[in-house]
Structure 1
Amino acid sequence: MATDTTTTAPARPPGTVSWWRRPWIAPLAIVTAVFLATALPRYVGLDPARSLVPTDRGPAFYPALVTHIFTGSVMLSAAVLQLWPWLRAHHPRVHRWSGRVYVASAIPTSIAALVVAQFPSGGVAQQVANTFLGVLLLTFTLLGYRAVRQRRFADHREWMVRSTALAFSIVTNRFWSTVLIAAYAPGALTDPDIGFGSPEIEGAAVASAWVSWIVNLMFAEWWIHRKPKRRSRVR
């Protein structure tokens, strides 16, 4: 009597998906490293003259800006680890600790952002955009932390996806500001005399302040509510 020797291969544990099915993690890590390597050194020496933005906006501005940048650098580094599926599956303890580091750094980053937002170069519109960003980043991070403490892991994942999307708005802001400067003031890309203070640059800064986090948050909502593809059966 013939026997059926066909067996069903055990399902892969979470996080063991081939690397090519998660092609975004390596570029995200590279972009984050490049961003930090180009932005952070200007503030290590605590010299206001080396700041990328004018610092003559009151005594509280530069300390808040430096705090925002230093803690934000830790936040982005921890966020990359949090988004790495392999690390989450194979080293859950590292994932938990990087999550704690993310929350511990995101809170002062968002609070410092709220202070910096009150000294805008682009007027009230930019002030409102950055204030919204700081409030939402703080709120989403705290909601995600509360959810994981209550063991509501699905809610935790959704809130932290939103928080991370807002955290990386500082990175996408570089992209959008370049695009919008090219649209508002194309001469500024080649003429060094056109800089902060010109109406065109301020208009681009205001638009970028809104677009950089709204687009990220829209992408996060799509990512959360998208319909996952059906996995093919493995014989």
Structure 2
Amino acid sequence: MAQITLRYIPFKTDVAFLQIKQTEVSGIPLYIIFFYIHVYSAIFVLLAGFTQFNSYLLKKRPTIHRNIGRLYVFTILFFSAPSGLFIGVFANGGFYSQISFVTLSILWFYFTLKGFTSIKNQNITQHKAFMMRSFALTFSAITLRLWKIILVNLFHPAPMDVYQIIAWLGWLPNLIIIEYYLYKQSKK
């Protein structure tokens, strides 16, 4: 993900993924701004999210857990999810891809907000469950790219077909796995 993000430094409008988004870049003035907000904030969210389930931090360094958690929540609620929503409206692959990315952004915002409000209300169990859901959606940045590599190398579908498929595969299986895990935990 760092390598992907570094392609967009310095700020350019015709590099990597943006090469196929020139209609949006030239026709929608805010697109490039929201795109870069999303790309630049995502790397921080991923790094912050990876630390939050570390048992050492949770038990021995709760202040670090809280501070990184606040960065994670703030970045998603004010940068990553809103910018994802905006660029999701213009996703490649048409209507089905757009619905997927818009839904992903809304759920990402909601789960993160619920995780934050749950801990403010001192409901640790609910906080953990919602933050796991949130990170499952954060992690879609990685799983989407993995699915793309798998699908392209195995099946060689048309590019827009790939977008329609990975738009859903990027996050839906992640969320199903977390829901299954939470269900199994509730039965213990």
Unaligned runs of 5+ in 2: none
| Structure 1 unaligned regions, length at least 5 | 1-34, 187-199, 231-235
Q: TM-score, normalised to structure 1's length? A: 0.73
Instruction: Using the TM superposition, give the Cα deviation of residue 165 of structure 1 relative to its aligned residue in structure 2, in angstroms.
Output: 0.3
- Does residue 62 of the first structure (1) align with residue 40 of the second (2)? no
1:133 to partner: Cα distance:
0.3
Match of 2:16 in 1: 51
More helix per residue: 1 or 2? Answer: 2
**Residues 190-224 of structure 1: CA deviation (Å, up to 9, x unaligned):** xxxxxxxxxx1110111001011000001111221
Correspondence for 1:220: 178
1:203 to 139, 158, 161: 161
Aligned partner of 1:55: which letter?
Answer: K
Does residue 87 in structure 1 map to residue 53 in structure 2?
no
Which residue in the other structure is 2:72 paired with?
102
Distance 1:55 1:227 in 2: 43
CA–CA distance in structure 2, aligned partners of residues 174 and 55 of structure 1 = 18
Q: Give distance in 1, aligned partners of 2:116 and 2:142.
A: 23
Query: TM-score by structure 2 length?
Result: 0.91
In the aligned structure 1, how far is the partner of 2:39 from the partner of 2:91? 16
Give me the CA root mean square deviation: 1.7
Structure 2 partner of 1:171 = 142
**TM-superposition CA deviations, 1:119-142 (whole Å, max 9, x none):** 122111110000000000000000
Aligned length: 182
AA matched with 2:81:
S
Question: Is 1:184–1:201's contact at 8 Å kept on the other side of the alignment?
Answer: no
Whether the 8 Å contact between 1:78 and 1:98 is mirrored in structure 2 is yes
- Equivalent AA in structure 1 for residue 64 of structure 2: V
Are 1:55 and 1:62, in contact at CA under 8 Å, matched by a contact in 2? no
The residue number in structure 2 matching 1:120 is 91
Alignment of 1:140-155 (within 5 A): 140-155=111-126
